[in-house]
Each structure stands twice: as C-alpha cells, then as structure tokens.
Structure 1
Amino acid sequence: MPSSASRAADALWTSPGAAPPPPERWALADTDDTVLRSRPEAADATPPPVVPPPRPGPSPGPSPSFESPRPAVPGASSGPSVSGSLLSRARRGEEAALETMFRQFVDEDEQVLTAAYLGKMGFLFATDSFGCVTDRRVATIRSGSFGELLYQDGYLDEINSTVVHQPAIWMLYVVFGLYVLLALSIASPFFVFEPLFAMFVFAVLLVPGLLIPRFYYRLVKSGLVTVIREGVSVYMFADRQRLAKANEMLRTISSYRERRVARLHAR
C-alpha cells in the first residue's frame, strides 16, 4: 500500500496546473506507482549505464621531435662538431663523410662540387686538413685534438687571387746528411778494432734515420691559399703527395668563379 506521503506526492504531481514537487521529494514521487502510471515514458526509460572512471594508464612517451639531438654532456653547446667515427671516415676519403662535415656550415641548396682530405700536421696532437668547393664558395676545416675545430670560407666571386705552395726538399737532405755524419761519428771508433761490429752499429743507427722523411713531411706542408677581397684568406695545408687534390680544387674554383662572375654581370 502506498504511504500517505506517497499519495500526497502523487496528488501533487498529477494535479493539472500544479507545480512540480520540491527537489527533496523527487525521489519519493518517482518511486510511486501512481507516478509511473501517469508517466508511461518514465516506466519505459532505461537508466543510463554507469561508466567506471578510466584507469590510469602508462604515461605517454615524449612527443616526436624533428630537432637535432642535444649533446649528452650537461652544459655542452650544440654547435657544429665532428664526431670521431665521421672524422675517421673522412680521413679515408669517403665522399659522404666529407660532404656531411661541410653541410653543417653551407646552405642546403648549395651543390658540393668537390671535397677531399688533404693531410695531417704534427705528431701527438696532430691537426687534420679538409677542403671543399661548392658552386658558391671555397671552404676548409681544420680538426685538431680535444675538440678543436676551425672553419674558413670565402665566396667564389670575391676571390682575387690564389697561391699554391710546395716547399723545396733540400732541407730534408741536409737533415738526413747531418744524421748520417752523426751515425758515422758514433760507429767510427769501432772500425779500428772490430770493423764488422762497427758496420753493424752504423746500420743500426741508420734505421731511425729512415723515419726522418716522415717526420719532415709531418711538419713541412704544401698548400693552397685563396685570397678573398676585403675578407680573410682561406688557407688549406696539404701533404706533398696530396697536393694534386689541392690543384684539382684550384681548377674547380677557377672554372666556377668565371661562371658565377659572368652570371652576376649579366643581371
């Protein structure tokens, strides 16, 4: 049997022109059979499903980024650098490695015409030399120990003159001759008593002398200089046996400089 409160709520709810019951009595009115009969749509209505709150899942990973990777060392700068593996490949003359080194400095739309490894200067803390010619500029990179890096370039149409230098080797003969005299002075006292032993000592002393040309060419270098108008000249040092690479760069510079100057004057 419906309670008196329920009947009162039903009467209040179903009376024509009556205002709806207050909020505190909605639950009582909605559960009464009379209300359900007077509102068939309420009886047919399906209660909304209860959707449980989503469980916390794993945190999303970092959003994809197209920026260049940052250096792993805290506080290190993200400037141009040459990694060890790239440097070793460039020393072997790999064109892809050489172009990658110079692409850090030149525009993306520039065409790399030629790039080469030119040689090494020094012994323990040596410096490597690389040269490059694009359709706009001539450039060089010197890579030293402990992250040292020197880049120079100049535009082809700003070149006034070029210089190719190959030093004479007479000093090498002088140094080698002095070393032979030193070896003879050390072995000569033994010629009086033991000539065979003296010759053996002289031969042993000559073995280190065979390294003199190697040491000489590590310090005395050939090279190419391009003089830039109202700018800094671009220096490329080269090993004597790699001077042909520098000459090839010089021919490329001359050819493309003439083309570039002609295009500029034609505008």
Structure 2
Amino acid sequence: MARAKADDPRALEILFAQFVPPQEQIVETRYMGVMGMWGIGTHSFAAVTTERVASLRIGLFGAVTYQDGSLEYVNSSVIFQPSRLKLYLPATVWILVTFAAALTYTIGLGGSLLVPLLVLPIALLLVPLVVRLTYRFVKSGLAIWIREGLLVSVFIDRRRITLANRLYRLCSELRDERIREIGHP
C-alpha cells in the first residue's frame, strides 16, 4: 500500500490486477490522493485498461470500493475542482462555533476557562469528520458516467488535477479506439 501511494506502477498494477481479467492490458494506473486530513482517510486510485476505466478506494480500516465501466459505454465525463473556500470554510466555522459555544457557556454560567480549553482539542479532533462530510456535498475529482447511469468516480487531490485531465483524455482516446475495434456498442 505504501508503494502504491508513492505512485509505484508495479504496486498499482498489483492492486488492480485482482479485479481486472488477465487478458486485459492495464494501460495506466495512478494514485489520486487521500480524501481526508493529515493522511488519514480514504485513498483513491484509478486505472485505465484496454477495455475499462476503474476506480479503487481503500479506507483507513480496510474498506475497499472498486468500480469499473466498459470504455465503449462511457456516456460523459466531468472534472470537479471546488474552490478552497468551499473546502476550508466548514472546518473553520466548526472550530469557531464550537469554541464560541464553550466560551459562551463558561461566561454565562460563571464557570472556569478550562471548559473552552478542553473543548477546542476535541473540536480539532473532529475536523476530519467535518471534512469528510464536506466532501459528501462538495465533489472533487473525475466522474465518468457509463451507460445505464453507472457512475465511476475518482476522488482527486487538488494538486493532482493534471492527472485527472490526463485520465480524461486517455479514456476518450481508448474509448474511440475500442469502438473502432468492436463496432458501435
């Protein structure tokens, strides 16, 4: 896993080989980033073979989600890149509101300043959950719709957006090649 996160092509091939039929050639595999903070979260990987586009997500405690779709049935694709404000604002608001509530509670009841100082670390520990919830509503990455409405989604870190563009172009090129090879789907 550590080698795959370092974008080692052989390690990435091993990750996807268990899902892809042996006769298919894996054209490209990539580590796309982590959905979360501080390296804790769900790691996203993508692959394109001669016949399909695939997404693999591996969670912190071993959760695995694999999705793929046949290239010839790709209907459309989109790349999402939200503004930093949409990503950081909810976590900032969470910390400020939690701290303000603890401070108001302390001042209103004449309590100790120990309460806000204890609440702040707890609020900081919950920031990754706030970020995860934010990503539930604010999408980031490459979404590829396959015939019949199947969505193959690939989460992408902001700094890896050029990889999303490359995967997008590669899928388009291989899709056209695949349709020429087998005829219209």
* Structure-2-length-normalised TM-score: 0.70
**Inter-partner Cα distance in structure 2 for 1:144 and 1:177:** 25
The structure 2 residue matched to 1:131, chosen from 35, 46, 70, is 46
Does structure 1 residue 94 correspond to structure 2 residue 8?
yes
Structure with higher RCO (Cα < 8 A, 6+ apart): 2
- 3-state DSSP of counterpart to 2:168: helix
1:229 maps to a residue whose letter is R
Per-residue CA distance 1:210-234 (angstroms, 9 max, x = gap): xx9xx96996552001101025210
| Number of aligned residues | 150
- 1:230 corresponds to: 148
- 1:255 corresponds to: 173
Give me the identity figure in percent: 40
The structure 2 residue matched to 1:119, chosen from 27, 33, 37, is 33
Cα RMSD for the two superposed structures: 3.1
Per-residue CA distance 1:2-47 (angstroms, 9 max, x = gap): xxxxxxxxxxxxxxxxxxxxxxxxxxxxxxxxxxxxxxxxxxxxxx
2:75 maps to a residue whose letter is N
Q: 1:176 Cα deviation (Å)? A: 9.5
Q: 1:111 Cα deviation (Å)? A: 1.1
CA contact (8 A) 1:139 1:152 kept: yes
**Inter-partner Cα distance in structure 2 for 1:145 and 1:173:** 22
Does structure 1 residue 149 correspond to structure 2 residue 67?
no
**Inter-partner Cα distance in structure 2 for 1:227 and 1:216:** 25
Q: 1:88 Cα deviation (Å)? A: 0.8
- 1:169 corresponds to: 84
Runs of 4+ in structure 1 displaced over 6 angstroms?
175-179, 215-218
- 1:17 corresponds to: none
Q: 1:246 Cα deviation (Å)? A: 1.4
CA contact (8 A) 1:91 1:117 kept: yes
Structure 1 or 2: more strand by fraction: 2
Cα separation, partners in 2 of 1:147 and 1:262, compared to 1, 3 Å: same
- 3-state DSSP of counterpart to 2:183: helix
Gaps of 5+ in 1: 1-86, 183-211
**Inter-partner Cα distance in structure 1 for 2:29 and 2:141:** 15
